[in-house]
């Protein structure tokens, strides 16, 4: 069924279709519309799920962790300060290998307080052991929720997933979205089969104390599972395409890169604006393309290397800042590493922080800067305020 839905409500529809047995979340802008809608669905009996009301994000993810350990499919959603408040539990969920899926309506972090979009919140938790997927539009946001559960619950993986989409820009935008039939979703994503669970008749412990003789191997196995996720996500994406027609069989998406000399690398909704900017620049004869990154963890370094082969200069659009680092943005380092055995120049641009609007003109200016080789800086600063 094709309908016009607000991004948040599309997410709630995806959650309705995957039927988590337990939901726990604490409202925070711009994620609130998702959990409001889910609470409504549960109250109206449209969704048979236990909705656990809690006093904070810390409690929300703690409740999710317990429910997941008991063998339930579990869902949560948050943003910004909420995610940071959860941080301790975020690491625990991955460490205990619980396949929880959590929506992140990406928002800047305080201080100063900003309710607007950037990707600082999820990128801060880069090393937590959660898979991180980034969506460009409402449809992709919807789709990645289905894919996320399939990957998370795969017994070769058993890792939690952040499905990230830009706060307000996606969460509050109404646009057309194709909502599949319940039976097709069930065929793609069968009911959850836990690898193991808390059971009074067959007791086990999770998240136990690990002495120096054991701790490192646990961390190693999480990293190994994350590595396996590269292929498992591709398989889940291929199966998604066979079932629903939309292709997520790659972790990166190339746009007009074939004969490009300059490439922009980006994640999330700004990729749409960049595509329009690239069409405009191509019409002017400029050889520029986009590489959109859909999976940031696991990081598809080999795919990126392949996609950017032959490019002279690469500019990374960073909706985050790694304060004190030389390149300024966190994503740029990963791209630079992926291309380390080539002579391609990689530069970072910290842009669009705290909801600053990005226009086609900005992308053209950024392309000028990439061509000139000027980067590793904040882009679009208001000099009069400094």
Partner 1 sequence: MTAAELIAVAAFKSGVFSQAFPAFGVERRGAPVQAFVRFSDEKIRLRSQVYEPDYVIVQDSTLIKDVNVFSGMKKGGIILINTGGDIHGTIPEGVRYIPIDATKLALEVLGVPITNTTLMGAFAAASGEISLEALEEAVRERFSGTLADKNVAASRKAYELIKGGA
- Residues at the site binding partner 1, with contacts judged by CB under 8 A: 4, 6, 30, 115-117, 137, 168-169, 172-176, 269-270, 272-273, 275-276, 355, 357-360
Given a contact cutoff of 8 angstroms between Cβ atoms, the answer to whether 117 and 108 are in contact is yes
Q: How far is the CB of 187 from partner 1 (least distance, A)?
A: 27
Nearer to partner 1, 71 or 354 (CB): 354
The residues near 241 (Cβ < 8 Å, ≥ 6 apart) are 247, 248, 249
Nearer to partner 1, 162 or 168 (CB): 168
Given a contact cutoff of 8 angstroms between Cβ atoms, the answer to whether 233 and 155 are in contact is no
Give the separation between CA 56 and CA 146, rounded to whole angstroms.
Answer: 26
First vs last Cα of the chain: how many Å apart?
A: 50
Nearer to partner 1, 125 or 169 (CB): 169
Q: How far is the CB of 139 from partner 1 (least distance, A)?
A: 9
Nearer to partner 1, 99 or 352 (CB): 352
The residues near 33 (Cβ < 8 Å, ≥ 6 apart) are 6, 8, 9, 12, 171, 172
Which residue pairs from 192-199 have beta carbons closer than 8 angstroms and sit at least 24 positions apart in sequence? 192/71, 192/72, 192/73, 192/99, 192/149, 192/153, 193/153, 193/155, 194/71, 195/97, 195/155, 195/158, 197/69, 197/70, 197/71, 198/69, 198/70, 198/71, 199/71
Q: How far is the CB of 273 from partner 1 (least distance, A)?
A: 5
Q: How far is the CB of 358 from partner 1 (least distance, A)?
A: 6
Q: How far is the CB of 35 from partner 1 (least distance, A)?
A: 17
Nearer to partner 1, 8 or 24 (CB): 8
Q: How far is the CB of 276 from partner 1 (least distance, A)?
A: 5
The residues near 350 (Cβ < 8 Å, ≥ 6 apart) are 318, 320, 321, 328, 329, 377, 378, 379
Q: How far is the CB of 374 from partner 1 (least distance, A)?
A: 23
Q: What is the DSSP string of 63-75?
A: HHHHHHHTT--EE
| Widest pairwise Cα distance in the chain | 70
Nearer to partner 1, 54 or 115 (CB): 115
Nearer to partner 1, 150 or 356 (CB): 356
């Amino acid at each position: 069924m094709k309908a016009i839905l607000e991004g948040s409500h599309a997410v709630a529809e995806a959650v309705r279709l995957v039927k988590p047995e337990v939901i726990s979340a604490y409202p925070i802008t711009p994620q609130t519309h998702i959990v409001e809608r889910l609470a409504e669905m549960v109250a109206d009996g449209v969704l048979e799920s236990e909705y656990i009301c809690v006093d904070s994000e810390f409690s929300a993810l703690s409740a999710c962790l317990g429910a997941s350990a008991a063998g339930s499919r579990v869902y949560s959603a948050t943003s910004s300060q909420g995610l940071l408040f959860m941080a301790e539990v975020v690491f625990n969920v991955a460490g205990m290998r619980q396949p929880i899926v959590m929506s992140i309506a990406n928002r800047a972090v305080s201080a100063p307080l900003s309710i607007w979009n950037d990707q600082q919140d999820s990128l801060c938790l880069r090393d937590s052991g959660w898979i991180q997927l980034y969506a460009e539009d409402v449809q992709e946001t919807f789709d990645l929720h289905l894919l996320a559960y399939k990957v998370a619950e795969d017994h070769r993986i058993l890792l939690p997933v952040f499905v990230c989409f830009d706060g307000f820009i996606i969460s509050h935008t109404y646009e057309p979205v194709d909502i599949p039939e319940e039976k097709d979703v069930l065929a793609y994503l069968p009911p959850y089969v836990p690898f193991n669970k808390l059971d009074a008749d067959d007791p086990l412990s999770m998240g136990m104390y690990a002495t120096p003789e054991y701790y490192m191997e646990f961390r190693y196995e999480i990293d190994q599972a994350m590595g396996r996720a590269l292929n498992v996500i591709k398989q889940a994406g291929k199966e998604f395409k066979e079932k629903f027609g939309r292709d997520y069989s790659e972790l990166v998406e190339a746009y007009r890169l074939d004969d490009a000399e300059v490439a922009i690398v980006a994640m999330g909704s700004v990729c749409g604006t960049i595509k329009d900017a690239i069409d405009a620049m191509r019409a002017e004869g400029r050889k520029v393309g986009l590489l959109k990154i859909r999976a940031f963890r696991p990081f598809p370094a080999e795919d990126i290397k392949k996609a950017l082969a032959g490019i002279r200069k690469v500019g990374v659009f960073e909706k985050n800042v790694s304060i004190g680092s030389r390149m300024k943005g966190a994503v740029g380092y990963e791209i630079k590493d992926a291309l380390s055995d080539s002579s391609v120049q990689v530069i970072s641009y910290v842009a669009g922080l705290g909801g600053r609007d990005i226009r086609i003109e900005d992308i053209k200016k950024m392309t000028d800067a990439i061509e000139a080789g000027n980067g590793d800086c904040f882009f679009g600063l208001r000099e009069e305020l400094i």
